Amino acid sequence: MFRISRVTDYGIVVMAHLAERGDGDSHNARELAEDTQLPAPVVSKILKSLTRAGLLVSQRGSKGGYSLARSPREIPVVEMITALEGPVGITECTTHPGTCAQEANCQVRDPWQRINGAVHAALAKITLADLAKPFEASGPFVSLVGMEGDALGRAASDERRSE
Amino acid sequence: MFRISRVTDYGIVVMAHLAERGDGDSHNARELAEDTQLPAPVVSKILKSLTRAGLLVSQRGSKGGYSLARSPREIPVVEMITALEGPVGITECTTHPGTCAQEANCQVRDPWQRINGAVHAALAKITLADLAKPFEASGPFVSLVGMEGDALGRAASDERRSE
DNA sequence: ATTTACAGGACCTAATTGGTCCGATATCTT
DNA sequence: AAGATATCGGACCAATTAGGTCCTGTAAAT
């Protein structure tokens, strides 16, 4: 359905929550699950993935927990998505070259790579800081992604028409 | 994995093939499946979806088949994707408002809507014509989606790093 | 009337996702 | 040193979704 998975969505919520705290303190999985109202085992799993990807740093043992590895402004959305559901790629041949039998005589591969690049670039420009402080950042944010005024309106009407 | 489904991919290939023909003639499902080297039943199913969405027109009976409903230049990529896998929406609350329990106190909903709008807008700007004639259209196409020179390069390195 | 080809589903299988749980290891406190 | 706390890594399961096939009905041409 061209959607991000639920774990990714959860992951963003947790990261945003961590970013809003602002403190460099580490928070344990149970606490984060409670704060975000998400199922604890899932949150724990997500935190591990984000740590492995280098977006969080973990501290083991008593008084352990997780904290942001960098400042929110330096964590692009695309990295969070990549960490939680693998490489961002619109088509199969983008992420796994060689697995498509039609690749040799495919007429649309090259443009798809560019479309993918455009989506990728858009997601790379948005950072965790933009998500965590929506009202503060929304002004510059909109212009950042190169979206003209009526883009959202048109998008919404497109979706409505298709249902 | 933040990918479009395989049927959508196939659908684009079929549409591009039709666009390349250029003639307004209708081509039947079997013929299109052969030309594109894709499984016939799947192609047939895809053609029906695209027809229902108004992107193709069908002609029944002997000598029947499918043809483009409009000129390739007037068929945006986002419509093809929408036709084949439902409304484009990054998160659940984008496509189905009200189904997320956290919606009321969600801190990231609004920015996600904008990100979604940006992706949506990018996909709305690319038309079937851009996909069907890649080399002709690649010049203006790149500038069209607002992607600067090194965007693809950075995207690729991001993906590599994450695996 | 027969043939051709689309329309609309039902249906099955395989893969992915969402979610839980457990043993091992690291760290802090007492 | 001992115990409590928390992450680490992975196994595991249920439910959903995707990929793909097939069948019956209907419209159009010969």
Measure CA to C1' and name the residue nearest D18: B5
- Note the pLDDT tens digit of each residue in B3-44: 889 999 999 999 999 999 877 789 999 999 999 999 999 999
Which residues on A lie below 8 Å from B90 (Cβ)? 3-4
Interval A113-129 mean pLDDT: 85
Query: Could you give the residue ranges of the DSSP H alpha helices within chain A?
Result: 6-21, 29-36, 40-52, 77-85, 92-95, 109-125, 128-132, 134-144, 151-161
Residue B1: the pLDDT is 62
Residue B9: the pLDDT is 92
> pLDDT above 90 covers what percent of chain B?
47
Measure CA to C1' and name the residue nearest C20: A41
**Are A78 and B158 inside 8 Å of each other by CB?**
yes
- What whole-number distance in Å separates Cα of residue A148 and Cα of residue A154? 11
Residue A132 has pLDDT above 70, yes or no: yes
What's the start-to-end Cα distance of chain A, in Å? 13
Q: How confident is the model at residue A83 (pLDDT cuts 50, 70, 90)?
A: very high
Residue A151 has pLDDT above 60, yes or no: no
Higher local confidence (pLDDT), A43 or B114: A43
- Note the pLDDT tens digit of each residue in B65-85: 999 999 999 999 999 999 998
- Give chain D positions with protein CB within 7 A: 3-11, 17-22, 26-30
Residue A134: the pLDDT is 52
Q: 3-state class of A27 per DSSP?
A: strand
Residue A146: the pLDDT is 35
**Are A145 and B120 inside 8 Å of each other by CB?**
no
Instruction: Give me chain A's average pLDDT, please.
Output: 79
Residue A158: the pLDDT is 38
Who's near A136: CB < 8 A, 6+ residues apart?
Answer: none
How far does the CA of B5 sit from the C1' of D1, in Å? 58
